[in-house]
């Protein structure tokens, strides 16, 4: 006789499968960069303080120190990460050896550079491939202080499918400390600091006109000793930037020790001159950050008008 099983059948209620696709959190970015503020801790490489220390110049990729007076690539990396998005166009009005363009390509940006000396513009162009010079880098030989340069820049922007540039880099000569050419349009050939400031202001105005509203610009500049006094090129140029329409956002002190060329060989001479002349040896330069904000500028000017009444 077969035995009866004591096992009971238990019915398990069926559950409907959850077919919903997990949603990725929406990135929280500012209109002018790709930094996801939801994951802000992931951007430890982006500086947010006002003292920048770089022990040495980055010479990787196509960067070199062959051209005396170029700014260090680490600055471009900080600027572009903080104030640009992929495919944005950077406008450099003192192009020099092409630091801005090299770093822009490395970071997926594009660049228009204006260089006064045709021979230097041609030499720097050789650092880039023919394809890069068509799609991502445009080098213009011209005077950044002239009115007609804006038409040339606009023509390049049109080719790149942009109405305006999304970031501007300004690294002018520090008056006549280094003579870059014999051209009268060269800011390093100005007869006085006042002439230098006036010419720089024209460049600043062109920068403002060619920059997209709401976007940023960087001015890299140091000071000089001249005629027995300290000439504050940095702060006078900052004032000219404001006069051109820019709103000041930050001032950064950048250490230049280890970034200068040849001064280490004459350190004792500079120390003697400092002791004899009552001055101190420069070991810093300034980085000023500005924004073009037409609405905020009009509001500020209106406020100043009321205060003047």
Per-residue pLDDT tens digits for 195-237: 999 999 999 999 999 999 999 999 999 999 998 899 999 999 9
Residue 201: per-residue pLDDT: 98
CATH of 49-308, one of 3.40.50.1970, 3.40.50.10190, 3.40.190.80, 3.40.50.150: 3.40.50.150
Alpha carbon distance 257, 270 (integer Å) = 14
Residue 272: is its pLDDT beyond 60?
A: yes
From 111, 76, 114, select the one nearest 95 (Cα to Cα). Answer: 114
**Inter-CA distances, 165 with 31, 48, 71, 260, Å:** 14, 24, 20, 30
pLDDT at 266 over 90: no
Mean pLDDT over residues 165-174, rounded?
96
Measure the CA–CA gap between 175 and 236, rounded to whole angstroms.
12
Confidence check: pLDDT of 47 > 90: yes
* Assigned token pair, 37: 């503020």
Give residue 66's pLDDT: 66
DSSP strand E in the chain: where?
Answer: 51-52, 89-92, 110-115, 137-141, 165-170, 211-221, 224-226, 229-231, 247-255, 284-291
Residue 309: per-residue pLDDT:
75
pLDDT of residue 6: 55
């Amino acid at each position: 006789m077969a035995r009866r099983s004591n096992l009971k059948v238990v019915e398990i209620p069926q559950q409907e499968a959850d077919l919903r696709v997990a949603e990725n959190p929406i990135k929280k970015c500012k209109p002018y960069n790709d930094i996801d503020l939801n994951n802000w801790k992931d951007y430890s490489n982006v500086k947010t303080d006002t003292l920048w220390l770089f022990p040495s110049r980055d010479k990787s990729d196509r960067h070199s120190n062959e051209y005396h007076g170029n700014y260090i690539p680490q600055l471009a990396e900080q600027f572009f990460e903080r104030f640009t998005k992929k495919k944005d166009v950077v406008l450099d009005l003192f192009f020099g050896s092409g630091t801005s363009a090299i770093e822009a390509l490395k970071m997926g940006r594009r660049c228009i550079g204006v260089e006064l000396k045709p021979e230097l513009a041609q030499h720097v162009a050789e650092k880039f491939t023919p394809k890069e010079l068509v799609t991502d880098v445009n080098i213009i030989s011209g005077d950044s202080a002239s009115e007609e340069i804006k038409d040339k820049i606009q023509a390049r922007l049109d080719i790149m499918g942009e109405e305006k540039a999304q970031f501007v880099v300004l690294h002018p000569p520090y008056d006549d400390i280094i003579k870059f050419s014999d051209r009268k349009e060269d800011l390093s050939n100005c007869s006085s600091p006042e002439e230098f400031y006036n010419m720089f202001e024209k460049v600043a105005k062109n920068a403002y006109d060619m920059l997209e509203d709401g976007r940023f610009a960087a001015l890299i500049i140091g000071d000089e000793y001249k005629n027995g006094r300290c000439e504050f090129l940095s702060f006078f140029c900052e004032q000219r930037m404001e006069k051109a329409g820019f709103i000041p956002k930050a001032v950064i002190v950048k250490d230049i020790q280890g970034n200068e060329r040849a001064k280490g060989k004459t350190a004792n001479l500079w120390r003697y001159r400092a002791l004899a002349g009552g001055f101190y040896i420069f070991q810093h330069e300034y980085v000023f950050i500005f924004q073009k904000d037409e609405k905020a500028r009009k509001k500020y000017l209106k406020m100043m008008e009321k205060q003047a009444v």
